[in-house]
Amino acid sequence: MANREQWGTRIGLVLAMAGNAVGLGNFLRFPVQAVQNGGGAFIIPYLVSFLLMGIPLLWIEWSIGRFGGRSNNHSTPFIMDSMDRRSFWKYVGVFGIFTNIGVAAYYCYIESWTMSYVFHSIIQTFTGMSQDEVAVFFVKYVDVGQSTTGIPFESVLFYLICLGLNTYILSRGLSGGVEKVAKIGMPLLILFGILLAVRGITLGNTGLCADCDSHVGMNFLWEPQFDKLLDLKVWFAAAGQIFFTLSLGMGTIQCYASYVRSKDDIALNAMSAGWMNGFVEIVLGASIVIPIAVGYLGLDWVKENAGFSMAFQTMPYLFNQWGAFLGSFAGVMWFGLLFFAGITSSLAMGTPWMGFMQDEFKWSRPKAAFTFGLLVLIMGLPTVFFFQEGFFDEYDYWAGTASLVIFATFETILFSWIFGIERGWKELIQGADMKVPVFFKYIMVFVTPIFLIVILLGTLITPKNGDWQKAFTEKYELDHGSLIGKLTHSNIVANRSWFADRFESEVSGIVTDAYSDEKNHYVVISDENGQVIKTYSQPITKKLAVATGDKVEIATPIFKGRFVNPIFYLDLSRIMLLALFIFICVLVYKANQKRKKIKRIYL
């Protein structure tokens, strides 16, 4: 059975592409990045990065996809193979399937939170809760052992429902499933976004604290600090934001574009989808969370707490201030908006795997969709059960960050230097409904690859606190969050074995208190001035190994018993990702053998 997928309408394609790009980061990551990197001045490196890296990469990925689709290839391994016959590229293309499954595994979990929070907004769970109670609700929700509604394993249940919904929609195909969701989801997302943004902008002074004013929040976000433009960290942050917000380096754009025929436009489609994502991010994303949060909690609170958790741990409380009905309605809009942003992205993540299995192994659409769901379930359940142990964050870093940068760098080099910019450019402008400025040809050859290599190196050897200025002018120290730092677990100074019969202190100091209650043992470690550095607790089944007044160094045992250290879960998540990558490599190898056997070699 040949892969006969097709888009229904051009608008549907553009909305699906925009939906692929628009994600939770548009509403949660962008405003925080802007606040931390120069406020209004952040928009300058942001737009420069969009021009020099975002747009060229969008065009490169659309062109690569449509070129591959011409020879009936709909996933990156064999799309890249059709551009250069060296077998190396097939295995680089594995990233374009691997990343999507790895990211979908944890992304569907976040998506299920939004679905669950829509449900809780409808039944008015948050009505009357304090800020702390709303925050604790979230902590309880992600703790699999606890239930907020009386339903056992509530978070697992919502995860399964969400994954099932994704699988079902994917099994309906591009025009019958993905496109229909994009056509409903994107307009609703924009509508909900506009309503909440208007509320954020017009909220003004609530009088709850001295600076509880949404305009103070907007000022905080948009006040241009031009001196920050000289800081390399700001440019890295802007380039990173552009990269992740456009869903570049994932393989989904190539997959969607591979269903576009050669005579049809891709240049204008790419621009429209890219700018639509920018609109959602800059106009809507910047006008909701920060202004509303400052309006009710004040600037100091937001400065301390601005981050991803605000979406779930703060917003329901803020909506409560509008009364039971309006608060519930706003909750449905906010979490509905996040749900649509999530599902249009997670659906896109399913299509490369489906395209690959349909192309190479002649699988039916439902079979390909079901196996995607199954793979995501196998990879994703540990992120649900071991969320607190850091499984989720490891997936996010390796599949959702590092892999994207690596893949985008390779594909740009392939397109501009190996496939050749002349052929690439011809592919881009074929059937174009807009005039593509010629200078972009040179940007694609020189600027974009350099931009990406710099980002890749920056990811690899990020200096401490991302402070490049200091790294160049003073002393270079590797950041724990850099790729090398992550790989070597440089932030873990004690308890470095998977299993142990003792638990070691991660700090040095003096034990100022070592005591037990009915359930736990506690050890409080302080510095020489009596300032508490760290407090440890372990269940009563373990044994205390220190007493009050003892001096401890890093790696001094403070508890005895049998321990499974967090490093075990981190390594386990990496082993799972590596196994997934190898599994897809084997499938690509098998597919290639099959192609050779039946002499089905394109190009």
Partner 1 sequence: MTTAALITMISVQVLVTIISGYFFWKILTAKPKPEPDSYSEE
Residue 173 one-letter amino acid: G
C-beta of 69 vs 400, nearer to partner 1: 69
Q: Which long-range contacts (CB under 8 A, 24 or more apart) does 359-363 make?
A: 359/3, 359/72, 359/73, 359/74, 359/75, 359/78, 360/78, 360/587, 360/591, 360/594, 360/595, 361/591, 361/594, 362/1, 362/2
In angstroms, rounded to a whole number, what is the distance separating the alpha carbons of residues 67 and 72? Answer: 9
C-beta of 204 vs 549, nearer to partner 1: 204
C-beta of 276 vs 376, nearer to partner 1: 276
Least distance (Å) from partner 1 to the CB of residue 47? 8
Task: Give residue 348's Cα distance to chain centre.
Answer: 14
DSSP string, 132-194: HHHHHHHHHHHSTT--SSS-TTHHHHHHHHHHHHHHHHHHTHIIIIIHHHHHHHHHHHHHHHH
In angstroms, rounded to a whole number, what is the distance separating the alpha carbons of residues 386 and 451? Answer: 36
Least distance (Å) from partner 1 to the CB of residue 51? 12
| CA dihedral for 537, 541, 546, 552, sign (positive or negative) | negative
C-beta of 214 vs 416, nearer to partner 1: 214
C-beta of 283 vs 578, nearer to partner 1: 283
In angstroms, rounded to a whole number, what is the distance separating the alpha carbons of residues 588 and 45? Answer: 39
Extract the tokens encoding 474. Answer: 């003073």
Q: Which of 466, 523, 303, 414 is nearest to 80 (CA)?
A: 414
In angstroms, rounded to a whole number, what is the distance separating the alpha carbons of residues 137 and 314? Answer: 11
Least distance (Å) from partner 1 to the CB of residue 216? 8
Least distance (Å) from partner 1 to the CB of residue 124? 33
Least distance (Å) from partner 1 to the CB of residue 20? 16
Least distance (Å) from partner 1 to the CB of residue 302? 16
C-beta of 426 vs 594, nearer to partner 1: 426
C-beta of 264 vs 393, nearer to partner 1: 264
Neighbours of 63 (CB within 10 A): 26
DSSP string, 228-255: GGG-HHHHHHHHHHHHHHTTTTSSHHHH
Q: Which of 401, 8, 382, 420 is nearest to 174 (CA)?
A: 8
Instruction: Yes or no: say if 140 and 312 are a contact pair by the CB < 8 Å rule.
Output: no
Extract the tokens encoding 215. Answer: 């305009």
- Given the rule CB under 8 A, which residues bind partner 1? 6-14, 39-40, 43, 175, 215, 218-219, 221-224, 259-261, 263-265, 268-269, 271-272, 275-276, 278-279, 282-283, 286, 431, 433-434
> What is the residue whose two structure tokens read 């016959």?
85
C-beta of 175 vs 371, nearer to partner 1: 175
Least distance (Å) from partner 1 to the CB of residue 232? 22
Phi, psi of 463 (to 5 degrees): -75, 165
Least distance (Å) from partner 1 to the CB of residue 194? 11
C-beta of 58 vs 584, nearer to partner 1: 58
C-beta of 180 vs 464, nearer to partner 1: 180
| CA dihedral for 117, 119, 120, 121, sign (positive or negative) | positive
Instruction: Yes or no: say if 500 and 542 are a contact pair by the CB < 8 Å rule.
Output: no
In angstroms, rounded to a whole number, what is the distance separating the alpha carbons of residues 117 and 123? Answer: 10
C-beta of 223 vs 513, nearer to partner 1: 223
Least distance (Å) from partner 1 to the CB of residue 21? 12
C-beta of 30 vs 569, nearer to partner 1: 30
Least distance (Å) from partner 1 to the CB of residue 423? 21
Instruction: Yes or no: say if 249 and 54 are a contact pair by the CB < 8 Å rule.
Output: no
Least distance (Å) from partner 1 to the CB of residue 152? 45
In angstroms, rounded to a whole number, what is the distance separating the alpha carbons of residues 547 and 521? Answer: 11
Least distance (Å) from partner 1 to the CB of residue 254? 15
